[in-house]
Amino acid sequence: MHDLPGVATPIIDSRGTHVFHQYTMRVLGNDPSKRDAVQSHLKSNGIPSFVYYPVPLHLLPIYKNDTVSYRVGKMDNTLVAANEVLSLPMHTELTEEQLSFVAAAVRSFF
């Protein structure tokens, strides 16, 4: 899926391997409605997907106080990432066939 325009997949360093706890792609464009449309498309194909961190940490209530000045308008890259991330199914029981099915469903959206 790394070749799909409008999608960014995790980068794996060529010198190593990765054991994914989550496989999180980004639906580029800073438009959560597009990300949500991809999620709906996957759901209609019987594929669960998740937005694990919809609110950036610096916008959580615990960080809203007088001593820390985190607010909207700061940490722009974090806000963009929160609008774009979508985690695909990832667990030890997924077969190659199931992984191919998920990838094909993502491709069919784009």
99 confidence band (pLDDT: 50, 70, 90): very high
Q: Is there a domain that residue 2 lies in? A: no
Which structural domain, as residue segments, surrounds residue 82? 22-109
pTM of the model: 0.86
What's the domain count of the chain? 1
pLDDT at 89 over 70: yes
CATH of the domain at 26: 3.90.1150.10
Residue that has been written with the tokens 């190659």 in this structure: 96
pLDDT at 66 over 70: no
Q: Is there a domain that residue 100 lies in? A: yes
30 confidence band (pLDDT: 50, 70, 90): very high
- B/e letters for 42-74, b = 16+ CB within 10 Å, e = fewer, are beeeebebebeeeebebbeeeeeeeeeebeeee
- Interval 39-59: pLDDT, tens: 999 999 999 999 998 998 888
Helices (H), the chain: 32-44, 76-84, 96-109
Q: Is there a domain that residue 35 lies in? A: yes
Q: Is there a domain that residue 94 lies in? A: yes
